[in-house]
Amino acid sequence: MPMYDYIYGTNDKCSDSLYEASLEQEEEKPDAIYLTHLTSLDSIYHLRLGFASLSSHPLSSRCYLLLMRPFTLMLSFILTFLSFRSFAFERNRFRDLTLHSHLLPKFSSHYKSQKQKESINKMIETAILEAEKKGGEELNGYGELYVRKHPKLKIRIVDGSSLAAQVVIHSIHVGIKEVLFRGQITKVARAIVRSLCQNGIKVMVLHEEEHCMLAEFLGGHCMENLILTTNHSPMIWLVGDGLSNEEQKMAEQGTHFLPFSQFPPTELRKDCFYHTTPAMIIPDSAQNIDSCENWLGRRVMSAWRVGGIVHALEGWEEHECGLDVPMVNPHRAWEAALRHGFQPLVLPFL
């Protein structure tokens, strides 16, 4: 509040009338909404509504935050157990689009009890219906359930998996003949493995269960490029949730860990390279981007989030969601992102 301007008479004379006029304006309707959740306990302070000095840097631990841990625990309790609705915590503009980021007041996508799952499903559904009333929505998740339950939705639900998969695929340098796969089998993982096998790149898998699950989605000559092995020699590791510390220790010196999940692996090895989670550099025309998205750098945005923005920019009418829904023309999202000025993050050369 401009308290000292009022005290010393230096305030603008039209401030009060401008304030009253702004109250009469209609609520801003977003063209796309990015739905996300908290990650670590201290991630509360990295939001724009937390500490600006923290949100302007990638998410990392701070010693002084340990002193605030009692208050943090109390705040997290309030957010996770007493709040049942998403809320806008960031507003941006990109060309003619108004972009909002909404926060689900929960910490993780891994929920243990059925009661917790039902609670989260209800919160996401409420967020979608609220966005339906406001005029725009983007959901970062496999939202096919809500499309089936509400077939007359005017909004489009986009999980961004097509672009996330393409970002990982195009991060692998031309000339790489083999990669090692390790992690949970997700929609993005299946799309990456299918594309690599079709392009003649051998995908080596360490666990028989993962090999069987991936083989179900491959056919014809692609199967010969999916190999069950105990060999840890490939210098490119595609990793997702589930990578253990013991497995990291088996990697060769100089190995590149390339995540395909939304959470990065623990950087255990000092003699190896860790790439970021699927992300792209945003164009200079994007406005009001002054905080970091989790562990990503300034003006770097997750591929899932970019996928929703590109969907809105292109005016595509179909949904992009659902675990079992095949990706139609996945190159379309990648080409559109580049056309709108988004740039890939380059993987260091071997």
- The ranges assigned to domains in the chain are 30-159, 172-274
- Residue 166 to residue 73: CA distance in whole angstroms: 38
What's the CATH superfamily of 172-274? NAD(P)-binding Rossmann-like Domain (3.40.50.720)
Q: Which long-range contacts (CB under 8 A, 24 or more apart) does 211-219 make?
A: 213/185, 214/181, 214/185, 214/189, 214/190, 217/190, 217/193, 218/193, 218/194
Which residues make Cβ contacts (< 8 Å) with residue 93, sequence separation at least 6? 99, 286, 287, 288
Q: Given phi > 0 = left and psi -120 to 50 = alpha, else beta, which region is 128?
A: alpha
- Residue 339 to residue 333: CA distance in whole angstroms: 10
Q: Which class for 246: exposed (0-12), middle (13-18), buried (19 or more C-beta within 10 A)?
A: exposed
pTM for this prediction: 0.78
Secondary structure class of 276 (helix, strand, coil): coil
Secondary structure class of 305 (helix, strand, coil): helix
Q: Which DSSP state fits 344?
A: E
- Residue 83 to residue 317: CA distance in whole angstroms: 32
Per-residue pLDDT of the chain (350 residues; tens, 9 = 90+): 567 777 887 877 777 787 788 777 777 788 888 888 777 777 777 776 667 777 778 877 777 777 777 777 777 777 666 666 777 788 888 888 888 888 877 665 443 344 444 554 555 556 555 555 444 333 434 567 777 777 787 888 888 889 999 999 999 988 899 999 999 888 899 999 999 999 999 999 998 888 888 888 887 778 889 999 888 889 999 999 888 899 999 999 999 999 999 888 988 899 999 999 999 999 988 888 878 888 888 889 999 999 999 999 998 888 888 765 556 677 899 999 999 999 998 765 54
Find tokens 């997750």 and name the residue: 302
Find tokens 């705040």 and name the residue: 75
- Residue 263 to residue 164: CA distance in whole angstroms: 13
Name the phi and psi angles at 218, rounded to 5: -115, 155
| Contact in structure between 37 and 103 (CB atoms under 8 Å) | yes
Cα-only R_g, the chain: 22
> 91: which 2 tokens?
């507003």
> 202: which 2 tokens?
């051998």
- Residue 273 to residue 254: CA distance in whole angstroms: 7
What angle (nearest 5°) sits at the alpha carbon of residue 111, between those of residues 109 and 115? 130
- Residue 164 to residue 304: CA distance in whole angstroms: 6
